[in-house]
Amino acid sequence: MTILQPFDKYEYEHDLLEWYDREKRDLPWRRERDPYRIWVSEIMLQQTKVDTVIPYYERFMSQFPTVDALADADEEQVLKAWEGLGYYSRARNLHAAVKEVQSAYGGVVPNSEEEIHKLRGVGPYTAGAILSIAYNIPAPAVDGNVMRVLSRIFAIYDDIAKPATRKRFETIIREIISTSRASDYNQALMELGAMICTPTKPACLLCPVQAHCQAREQGVQELLPVKAKKKKPKSVTLQAYVLITEDGRFIVEKRPETGLLANLWQFPTALDGETMEKFLENYGVDIIKSENTQRVRHVFSHIIWEMDVYRVQISGQPKLMDRQELVTLEEISEKAFPVSHQKIIKETLKGEG
């Protein structure tokens, strides 16, 4: 038995859904039940706040309204639509998965656990979210909200940063989820976590299920959930070169296909330690003028980039390396750049073109 005795799942379901029916936010992806749209919203919402997602979601849906529209798009277009949202592998995986749905499933998002979980970028949470929200299938969709709510309801002290903990919560959800309103049930749990059962200072007095909450009863709601601390990101110093030709164009390059910021565009960079002369040697050009224009500090989840930016006017025809292009300012605006390099465009290229 996973759940403690005094818990009445039917009363809990009733109280939770009654509150959800009354208080749920009017969000763009709640106005429809197109599985494709639900899918896109769930990918965007991974580790990303609702307020951040909304404008991206609206633009993305206008640009790629259907499975076919997205499947037929170029990856460059998709990444451009994702620019600034972060975790860019989400966009590339979604694109690949939608192509798969188009070719293998006739454009219909699958509704079985095995098939949907095979899709790139669809893990246990997203699989459950699509199955329940789009198809009303009673599958668990355990995200950070749900783990927080359940750890409080049942006073569970397992570390929610551990993968094994999510599985325990999935087991609990399978036991208590509404069989008739799985879609609303999962969304209500997440909505509760977002609006009432918040990480700090949960609004227990407003909580529709406070009568069912063991943490509340024991006064330990602020101690839950237990979550291991993250490690500090490590600093990396590098140089970024804005190389400007005599006709006012810029050298940009596409990052590697894997790893950090995969397939996004950037200005050429050198690891700290290499001199500018050595770095520019490869391009076979002369330096007309060089100035250190800015210092960019950009914090990722696991790294901090400290970039010294140099604006370098060059003469001669630069020799371009693999994945590099010579482009105008307008062409730059059509490519997807990470925020770190957008800072360079904003400062070092202002007044250019």
Q: Which residues bind DNA (CB under 7 A)?
A: 27, 41-42, 45-52, 84-89, 93, 120-127, 129, 143-145, 148, 162-164, 187, 190-191, 193-194, 198-200, 227, 229-232, 259-262, 298-303, 338-340
Q: Which is nearer to DNA, 295 or 302 (CB)?
A: 302
* Residue 93 CB, nearest approach to DNA (Å): 6
Q: Is 32 one of the annotated active-site residues of the chain? A: no
* Residue 305 CB, nearest approach to DNA (Å): 9
- Separation between Cα atoms, residue 49 and residue 34, nearest integer Å: 22
- Separation between Cα atoms, residue 264 and residue 49, nearest integer Å: 22
Q: Which is nearer to DNA, 68 or 158 (CB)?
A: 158
- Separation between Cα atoms, residue 323 and residue 342, nearest integer Å: 19
* Residue 1 CB, nearest approach to DNA (Å): 22
* Residue 126 CB, nearest approach to DNA (Å): 3
Q: Which is nearer to DNA, 157 or 282 (CB)?
A: 157
Q: Which is nearer to DNA, 55 or 248 (CB)?
A: 55
Catalytic residue among 13, 42, 83, 191: 42
Q: Which is nearer to DNA, 50 or 287 (CB)?
A: 50
* Residue 234 CB, nearest approach to DNA (Å): 8
What residues act catalytically?
42
